[in-house]
């Protein structure tokens, strides 16, 4: 019998709302999320955290679905982690005080929740993560019971009831499907696992095994509305063979001579990083950090590599590549005052490019080509020498200050000791 969970849903509303608007161009639809979770069990609790001051219509829709809304009051300096802390504390309290709840669904893409996810798993709770592939941390995607991508909910044809706004004016049609060659390694690995267990590779068991190996897998990424249709597509491509035994479909690996190799070599996700790093270097040289969104960065990448296609590397859209780069510390994605995600340099990028000359390594296409537009103005060599001189003077002052600090500390110790002895002598008399 299929396992049915009792699920508690925790929604980081500000995170999911900004992510859906920026990557998918629409409003967040809570009904699609709840319907997807109901397929996996009974939803017993629904709590959303956010600043509801500016979400009047959204508050009404959430209330219609029985979602409890917890108000987060941002301080004068902002309160980015306020909702995260409240959500984590409430989830842990529920895990400890409500033993009948055996599954938790966290609707967010924030990697800060990885500690909460691991703790809930230690309490023997199933954890589902709901978020967009383009803004959900890959750490979360890989370390949960199942990652439910928001894109797959749109592809399933569920109606949108999230209200109007900027997102309602854009197309919500799902992007092109990923090539089947991207999933063959996971598929064959799952078949090997079932073979070692001496278990018949039925459709349901095969999918559950693939999810155990990669919780972010979904057949909808490859243009299939069901797992059975997904297997049929694989069979047409001669990537698997199917048979029917006692009314059950079984999936097997094809014979070596029958297997059809993909026409295009399978590329790994990290293979897309070199051209992205070149584009990020150009952004750094032209002081464009915080001024571009996903589309602006992709424009620079395509100018460096006109035939670049993120889908060849396993990304459904370019925003997914930037999300992957953020997990690696190359970029940082932060919303501006209008809730538009802007691209900033990540910690690893700053460390790798510290002290690099700003213009000397610019690609020729950005060095003032009239046909492409002047993006990298020439800087006199005097500035480079000034920067080098400034860089040399930065290291010396700390070495000069250390003796002074040491002598001051010693002098204070001696003076304080002398004063103490002077005070004690009258008392001794």
Which pLDDT tens digit goes with each residue over 264-317?
A: 456 788 899 999 999 999 999 999 999 998 889 999 999 999 999 988 888 888
Longest dimension (CA), the chain: 107
| Confidence check: pLDDT of 226 > 90 | no
The answer to whether domain 5-171 has CATH 3.90.76.10 is: no
Question: 131 pairs with which residues across the strands?
Answer: 149
Rounded CA-CA distance 286/272 in Å is 22
Domain boundary assignment for the chain: 5-171, 182-252, 269-366
Task: State how far the alpha carbon of 134 is from the alpha carbons of 130, 160, 341, 349, 369, in Å.
Answer: 12, 20, 12, 20, 33
Residue 331 has a pLDDT of: 92
Mean pLDDT, residues 247-266: 63
Question: What pTM does this model have?
Answer: 0.64
The answer to whether domain 182-252 has CATH 3.30.420.610 is: yes
Which pLDDT tens digit goes with each residue over 71-99?
A: 886 655 555 666 688 899 999 999 999 99
CATH topology of domain 269-366: Nucleotidyltransferase; domain 5 (3.30.420)
Task: State how far the alpha carbon of 103 is from the alpha carbons of 15, 44, 77, 95, 381, in Å.
Answer: 21, 10, 35, 9, 62
Share of residues in the chain with pLDDT > 90 (%):
34
- Identical fold between 182-252 and 269-366: yes
Mean pLDDT, residues 241-265: 67
Rounded CA-CA distance 137/99 in Å is 28
């Amino acid at each position: 019998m299929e396992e049915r969970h009792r699920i508690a849903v925790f929604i980081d509303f500000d995170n999911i709302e900004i992510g859906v608007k920026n990557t998918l161009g629409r409003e967040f639809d809570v009904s699609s999320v709840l319907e997807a979770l109901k397929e996996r069990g009974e939803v017993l609790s629904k709590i959303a955290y956010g600043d509801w001051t500016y979400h009047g219509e959204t508050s009404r829709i959430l209330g219609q679905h029985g979602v409890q809304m917890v108000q987060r009051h941002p301080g004068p300096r902002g309160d980015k982690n306020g909702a995260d802390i409240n959500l984590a504390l409430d989830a842990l309290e529920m895990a400890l005080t409500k033993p009948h709840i055996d599954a938790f669904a966290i609707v967010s893409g924030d990697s800060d929740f990885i500690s909460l996810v691991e703790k809930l798993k230690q309490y023997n709770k199933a954890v589902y993560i709901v978020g967009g592939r383009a803004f959900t941390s890959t750490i979360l995607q890989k370390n949960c019971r199942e990652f439910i991508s928001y894109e797959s909910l749109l592809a399933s044809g569920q109606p949108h009831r999230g209200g109007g706004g900027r997102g309602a004016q854009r197309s919500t049609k799902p992007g092109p499907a990923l090539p089947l060659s991207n999933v063959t390694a996971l598929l064959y690995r799952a078949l090997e696992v079932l073979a070692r267990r001496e278990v018949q590779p039925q459709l349901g068991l095969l999918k559950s095994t693939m999810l155990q190996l990669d919780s972010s897998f979904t057949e909808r990424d490859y243009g299939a509305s069901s797992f059975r249709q997904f297997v049929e597509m694989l069979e047409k491509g001669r990537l698997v063979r199917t048979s029917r035994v006692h009314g059950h479909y079984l999936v097997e690996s094809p014979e070596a001579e029958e297997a059809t190799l993909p026409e295009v070599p399978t590329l790994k996700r990290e293979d897309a990083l070199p051209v992205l790093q070149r584009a990020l270097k150009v952004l750094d040289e032209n002081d464009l950090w915080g001024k571009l969104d996903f589309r602006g960065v992709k424009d620079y990448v395509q100018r460096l590599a006109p035939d670049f296609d993120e889908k060849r590397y396993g990304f459904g859209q370019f925003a997914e590549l930037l999300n992957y780069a953020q997990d690696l510390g190359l970029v940082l994605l932060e919303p501006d005052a209008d809730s538009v995600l802007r691209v900033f340099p990540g910690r690893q990028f700053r460390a790798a490019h510290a002290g690099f000359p700003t213009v000397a390594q610019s690609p020729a296409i950005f060095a003032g080509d009239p046909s492409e537009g002047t993006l990298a103005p020439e800087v006199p060599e005097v500035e480079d020498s000034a920067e080098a001189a400034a860089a040399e003077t930065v290291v010396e002052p700390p070495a000069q200050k250390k003796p002074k600090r040491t002598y001051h500390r010693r002098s204070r110790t001696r003076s304080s000791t002398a004063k103490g002895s002077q005070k004690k002598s009258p008392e001794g008399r």
